[in-house]
């Protein structure tokens, strides 16, 4: 059974850092790009960024709102994708979700339950 | 950035009746080389992650009831629920993944009349 489990969320002060994890199981993690989305309380969905699979260079892309502050990485040996969030702002408060993309037409089919990040002093 | 605009923002439909949600993109999301529309539809209920309903504008995801269908091409898309059930009360979002930044519509709230 495919599972994606986000963790690492919590309350953090503005300007501080936090690292989220997306732990995958039930599929060959290395065969998928991993995607991060977020949803501010009571708001719509926003794409954060993704990391391609190693066979596509393992490169990353980010939304303009997080570029330069957030970094996505992956550890294929542990089946974990990370979202390192630096210089956090109050507007980064959201539930953060991860999803997957096999880069061959199967994408967004599984999502984690999300982890809440609250940026507040 | 591609702007996705959904209409209406909310709609109330009687049980068993048809619900139609529209999604318009500010530029085409049809990739000419493979003739695929890079457009997805999601359902989201309170406290839950989004659930993929439709991918590539019209391909129903495995396990999704056949009362859900997607149509359209280029810049204009529609999600149709042919016979609304109580469990369909939710927010619905369209998303383009034709080019980054991937963008979503603002969402449509579907309720029972």
Blockwise average pLDDT, block size 10, chain B, 113 residues? 98 98 98 96 97 98 97 98 98 98 98 97
Cβ within 8 Å, pair B49-A114: yes
Chain A positions in Cβ-Cβ contact with residue B35 (cut-off 8 Å): none
Residue A103: closest CA among A49, A36, A35: A35
pLDDT higher than threshold 90 for residue A117:
yes
Are B55 and B69 contacting, i.e. CB atoms less than 8 angstroms apart?
A: no
Are the beta carbons of B51 and A111 separated by less than 8 Å?
Answer: yes
Taking contacts as CB-CB distances below 8 angstroms, the residues of chain A near B38 are: none
**Residue B101 is nearest to which of A64, A109, A114, comparing CB atoms?**
A64
CB-nearest partner of B106 from A37, A44, A64:
A44
CA distance A15 to A35: 24
B96 CB neighbours in chain A (<8 A) are: none
- A58-100 confidence digits (pLDDT tens): 999 999 999 999 999 999 999 999 999 999 999 999 999 999 9
Q: Is the pLDDT of residue A105 over 90?
A: no
Tokens of A80: 């974990």
- The reply to whether residue B52 touches residue A109, judged by beta carbons under 8 angstroms, is yes
Looking at the DSSP assignment, which residues form a beta bridge with residue B76? Answer: B24, B73
Q: How far is CA B75 from the centre of its chain?
A: 13
C-beta atoms of A47 and B103 within 8 A: yes
pLDDT at residue A106 above 90?
no
- At B98, give phi and psi (nearest 5°): -70, -40
pLDDT of the residue at A108: 93
Helices (H), chain A: none
Give the pLDDT confidence of A40-64 residue by residue, as tens digits. Answer: 999 999 999 999 999 999 999 999 9
Q: What residues contact A69, with CB distance under 8 A and at least 6 apart? A: A85, A86, A87, A88
pLDDT, residue B89, reads 98
d(CA B22, CA B25): 10
Of A47, A109, A114, the CB nearest to B102: A47
3-state secondary structure of A67: strand
B88 φ, ψ (degrees, to nearest 5): -90, -5
Instruction: Name which of A45, A64, A109 is nearest B61 (Cβ-Cβ).
Output: A109
Of A44, A97, A112, the CB nearest to B93: A44
Question: Which residues of chain B lie closer than 8 angstroms to A113, CB-CB?
Answer: 48-49
Residues of chain B contacting A114 with CB distance shorter than 8 Å: 49
Q: Are A103 and A52 in contact (CB under 8 A)?
A: yes
Chain A positions touching B108 (Cβ under 8 A) are: none
In degrees, rounded to 5, the angle at the alpha carbon of residue A57 between the alpha carbons of residues B102 and A18 is: 60
Q: Do B95 and A45 count as a contact with CB atoms less than 8 A apart?
A: yes
Contact B96, B105 (CB under 8 A): no
How many angstroms separate the CA atoms of B60 and A24, rounded?
A: 24
CA dihedral defined by B51, B12, B78, B99, rounded to 10 degrees? -50
């Amino acid at each position: 059974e495919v599972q994606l489990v986000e963790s690492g969320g919590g309350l953090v002060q503005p300007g501080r850092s936090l690292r989220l994890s997306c732990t995958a199981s039930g599929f060959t993690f290395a065969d998928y790009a991993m995607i991060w989305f977020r949803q501010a309380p009571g708001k719509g969905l926003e794409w954060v960024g993704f990391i391609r699979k190693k066979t596509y260079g393992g490169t990353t892309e980010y939304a303009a709102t997080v570029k330069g502050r957030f970094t996505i990485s992956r550890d294929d040996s542990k089946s974990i994708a990370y979202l390192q969030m630096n210089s956090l702002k109050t507007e980064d408060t959201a539930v953060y979700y991860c999803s997957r993309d096999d880069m061959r037409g199967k994408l967004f089919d599984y999502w984690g339950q999300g982890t809440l990040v609250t940026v507040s002093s | 950035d591609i702007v996705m605009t959904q209409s209406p923002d909310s709609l109330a439909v009687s049980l068993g009746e048809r619900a139609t949600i529209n999604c318009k993109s500010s530029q085409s999301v049809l990739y000419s080389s493979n003739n695929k529309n890079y457009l997805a539809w999601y359902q989201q209920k309170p406290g839950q992650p989004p659930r993929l309903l439709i991918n590539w504008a019209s391909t129903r995801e495995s396990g999704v009831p056949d009362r859900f269908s997607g149509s359209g091409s280029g810049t204009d898309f529609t999600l149709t629920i042919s016979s609304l059930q109580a469990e369909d009360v939710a927010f619905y979002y369209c998303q383009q993944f034709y080019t980054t930044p991937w963008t979503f519509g603002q969402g449509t709230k579907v309720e029972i009349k």
